[in-house]
Amino acid sequence: MNSIILALVGLILYLLAYKFYATFISRRILRLDPDRETASHELRDGTDYVPTNKYVLFGHHYASIAGVAPIIGPVVAVIWGWLPALLWVVFGTIFIGAVHDFNVLTLSTRNQGKSIGTLSEKFMGSGARTAFLLVIVFLLIILISVFALVIAKLFIQIPESATAA
């Protein structure tokens, strides 16, 4: 299949998800209010809280979430084929990554820009914060391990993938 067609299908699915799924989540689940003041305006101090152009924020957000799916996706494609990779990247982004990040960003925005660790302490106590941060470290170790395993399997199964030539 032509890669342009795959890219267009992915783009169309992202646009549809943005138009319908994200709209549903923002209106029905999160009940976003565009007039609500954000922490960058409410607590503006010129250092930690600075209002920023929405395109700059989009770039920061995109760079911080573009992690596992785009890295593992091509490796999955080399090992198992393009269809599992396409499903991993497109549907994983729509139904897992984007929803998670959207909800966490909204929670942080509604709580003066605090991190998820700080918010877990606020809502559940200091023991929950410690447990939550330990789970995050554990999950990051698993993530790095799986990434290393997948790459190692790729290099073993297809040794020429390790070189640029």
Q: What would the pLDDT profile of 91-124 be if each residue is shown by its tens digit? A: 888 888 888 888 888 888 889 888 888 888 988 9
Do 20 and 79 fall into the same domain?
yes
Q: Are residues 68 and 12 in the same domain?
A: yes
- If asked whether residues 127 and 109 sit together in one domain, one would say no
Span 116-145, mean pLDDT? 87
Q: How confident is the model at residue 165 (pLDDT cuts 50, 70, 90)?
A: low
pTM value is 0.69
Q: Which amino acid is at 139?
A: L
Give the number of other CB atoms < 10 A from CB of residue 57: 13
Question: Is the domain of 43 the same as that of 107?
Answer: yes
Residue 13 has pLDDT above 90, yes or no: yes
The average pLDDT across 41-50 equals 89
Residues 86 and 122 placed together within one structural domain of the fold: no
Q: Are residues 70 and 11 in the same domain?
A: yes
Q: Are 10 and 94 in contact (CB under 8 A)?
A: no
Among 72, 97, 114, the domain-final residue is 114
Domain boundary at 97, 114, 131, which?
114
Q: Are residues 59 and 71 in the same domain?
A: yes
The domain total for the chain is 2
Q: Rounded CA gap, 80 and 65, in Å?
A: 24
- Does 104 lie in the same domain as 43? yes
106 and 148 assigned to the same domain:
no
Distance CA(154)–CA(48), nearest Å, equals: 43
**82 shares its domain with 154:** no
Q: What is the pLDDT of residues 64-82, one digit of tens each?
A: 665 665 666 666 666 777 7
Note whether 53 and 106 are same-domain residues: yes
Rounded to whole angstroms, the Cα distance separating 44 from 104 reads 21
Same structural domain, 27 and 103: yes
Domain ranges, residue 26 = 1-114
